[in-house]
């Protein structure tokens, strides 16, 4: 009698432990998680929640989806669907400055608008501020693509904006091979923030403008 009672008790405990997870798996649809290969992330997210009778199923579902690093509508890391904010664009505009005519940047490249480097076949001679703003938005997409390609952890909007500015200024190659990227992908964000101040030279010379820009990018990254 005692032995059977003990076994019955163990079964009840096991069912009680599994029930909450099964409940949450039903909230946002386990097939999506399994389909996109993120079932482990999904299970971890939902298992961390405790069922509460005073919240609706929709509220619980929204909480699980909000806190997850995965966008459950696409199966992608949320960075891959994020875009630069106006704050990030304004930072780039402020430090690049606007020029309606072609000039040579500190690195010696022919440039116009908000830091747009002319490519072969481009024949800009003059540009309005509105045209420069539209061109900047197009150019920033390249930086966004770099983040999508190389960053493997979830970023805040501030971190994302700071990296867009950094990559727009320094290019894909410098970011791809940087200790900054390695620190980010390791989840060491405080150490990553300290890497910004290393990128303050052009043609071997320390530039005050780059020092100031890197400091602002670092602050944005940390906030």
Q: Where are the domains of the chain?
A: 2-77, 82-222
Classified by CATH at the fold level, domain 82-222 comes out as Lysozyme (1.10.530)
What does each C-alpha distance from 216 to 126, 147, 222 come to in angstroms?
A: 30, 19, 10
Query: Under a CB-based contact definition with an 8 Å cutoff, are residues 221 and 196 in contact?
Result: yes
Average pLDDT estimate for 155-181: 96
Q: Which residue carries 């005519």 as its tokens?
A: 101
Is the pTM higher than 0.85? The answer reads no
Question: For the segment 1-48, what is each residue's pLDDT rounded down to a tens digit?
Answer: 544 554 444 444 444 444 454 454 455 555 565 655 566 666 666 665
Distance between CA atoms of 76 and 85, rounded to whole angstroms? 20
What does each C-alpha distance from 139 to 66, 80, 166, 167, 174 come to in angstroms?
A: 30, 17, 13, 11, 17
Indicate if 69 belongs to the active site: no
Query: Under a CB-based contact definition with an 8 Å cutoff, are residues 84 and 144 in contact?
Result: yes
Q: Point out the catalytic residue in the list 59, 96, 122, 216.
A: 96
Largest CA distance in the chain: 94
Distance between CA atoms of 155 and 80, rounded to whole angstroms? 10
């Amino acid at each position: 009698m005692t032995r059977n009672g003990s076994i019955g008790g163990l079964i009840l405990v096991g069912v009680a432990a599994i029930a909450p997870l099964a409940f949450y798996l039903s909230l946002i649809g386990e097939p999506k998680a399994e389909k996109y290969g993120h079932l482990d992330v999904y299970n971890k997210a939902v298992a961390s929640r405790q069922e509460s009778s005073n919240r609706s199923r929709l509220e619980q579902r929204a909480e699980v989806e909000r806190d997850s690093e995965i966008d459950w509508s696409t199966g992608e890391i949320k960075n891959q669907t994020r875009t630069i904010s106006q704050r990030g664009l304004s930072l780039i505009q402020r430090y690049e400055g606007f020029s309606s005519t072609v000039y040579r940047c500190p690195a010696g490249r022919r440039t116009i608008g908000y830091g747009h480097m002319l490519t072969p076949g481009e024949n800009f001679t003059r540009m309005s501020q509105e045209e420069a703003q539209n061109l900047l938005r197009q150019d920033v997409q390249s930086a966004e693509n770099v983040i999508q390609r190389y960053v493997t952890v979830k970023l805040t909007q501030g971190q994302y904006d700071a990296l867009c500015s950094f990559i727009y200024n320094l290019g894909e190659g410098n970011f791809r091979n940087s200790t900054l990227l390695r620190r980010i992908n390791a989840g060491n964000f405080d150490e990553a923030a300290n890497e910004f101040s290393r990128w303050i030279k052009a043609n071997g010379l320390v530039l005050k403008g780059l020092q100031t820009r890197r400091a602002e990018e670092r602050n944005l990254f940390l906030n």
